[in-house]
Chain A
Amino acid sequence: MTGTLVSIALSGVFHAAILFLVAAGLQVVFGVQRIFNLACGSFYALGAYAGVSAVAAFTAAGGPPALFLVPLAVAGLVAGLAGVAVERGLLRFVYDRDESFQLLLTFAVVLMMEDLIRMTWGTAPRSTGGLYLVYGQARLLGATVPVYNLIVIAASLAIALGIGWFLARTAFGRIMRATADNREMAEALGVDLRALHLRVFALGTALGTLGGALVIPATAAMSEMGIELIVEAFAVVVIGGLGSMRGAFVGALVVGVLRALAIAFYPELEMLLIYLIVIAVLLLRPRGLFGSVAA
């Protein structure tokens, strides 16, 4: 019984690790730019496909299977450059508009990217084959877990700590927090908002694409994966509080683990439970568990 529970919890935590990366990207962008980026799910899908292609090329070139994580992570980060194109090509024109228009523009990106992915990679699901279990399985408190899952959980934790350090200790992190806090004041003090917007959006995108790349050894890449994930990431940031990194972390754990428990014990509830929690949070505490933005 503990074995089953541990294995359910660990699969939830694995999902949470991926969700955290995407949600962190969403939070960075919302915190600084005040744009709720619906396209973060599309970037996640893009990262997944880029990862599949990179790993396939790596294997075809005779790369050792055990090193597949390297091309996977590199592809995930490189795919983040798509954010530069989206920010320079589209978003920068609407920073002074009403937020509903900004939301609609990111929805336009969702539509376009879904088809661009279909055009590039086709409609059939793509996977990395048997690489998932290359690192074997570990036994943990009576549960069997793929070692890959543990690696991703560790990587996600490391990234969370890295972001925390980056925001608290580096000059750029301080500038980001200052701008999130008071945009006019930051600009008056000489912050180049143009450059900041670009870097922040690229950072947010790269977190999403990396999350997508890291998930595909475990599941196949599909063109709908983006629009399905965005609603989960949405739940994460609402529960945690918009714009808060700590919120993304806790929210991802809540959503990931609850979803895993629901699937195991009462599948009908799956996402229903999550959305009901989201509604409850929005009604009772709109700023979420850690958010500072008032409704």
Chain B
Amino acid sequence: MNLAGPPKLRIENVALRFASRTGAPVTALENISLDVADKEFSVIVGPSGCGKTSLLRLVAGLIEPTEGTITLDSRRISGPGKDRGMVFQSYTLFPWLTVQHNVEFGLRIAGVSAALRRETAQRFIAQVGLNGFERLYPKQLSGGMMQRVALARALANDPAVLLMDEPFGALDSQTRSLMQELLLDIWQASHKTVLFITHDIDESILLGDRVYVMTARPGRIKEMVEITLPRPRTVEMLTTDAFMAIKRRIMHSIHQEAMRSLAIEAPST
């Protein structure tokens, strides 16, 4: 990747603290720094409760960091914006809009003409393989289809960075594999800058150029693993030796971490 010049997205010394119900300060994230290069696919993998979703919401501008700064194209992030499109783990399609109008939503509020909106939406609906489903409402779609529409809706806005918060987490494993392949295809064609969050190690290796391993309580980045597997990638790679070697390394790292947090939780005897 292009290492010269400033990174696309830069997270610098970010901490997130809030007061718990008892008033005691809770540190959700501590000393997080990472750079995402232009056209790079970065994945953050970590156990539940490590604050990875909070980190993504900070980048989206939905919450503010207690310390540190986040910059996109050298401009400081101070709130949500359409330059950072997001796909959520929960189903977030607008139930009152058809597939077509869901995908058009961002363009519509940006004041794009009806003709251009329709054409753009058509292109992304086709890209996620949902031709012929334009007029259906979300409740008529399966979970996998809803996430495809959510992806098309985010992409139709042409964001500078695509943020994905465990988008396939609620899907069954077969559908998840299909969605991973779809995302790989789309990324291979568009080379969007992506920041992707998951607890699934296979998923992180299969998709990412870089995988950041996060630790819990407080959330910190423990390690960055460069994924050197060749592209384009397919799910068949999941069983190769190279894949396994990376997986062992990440599993070991996460396992150490899980043991450490278990030790913290266990009553001291």
Do A and B make up one complex?
no
Enumerate chain B interface residues (CB-CB to A < 8 A).
Answer: none
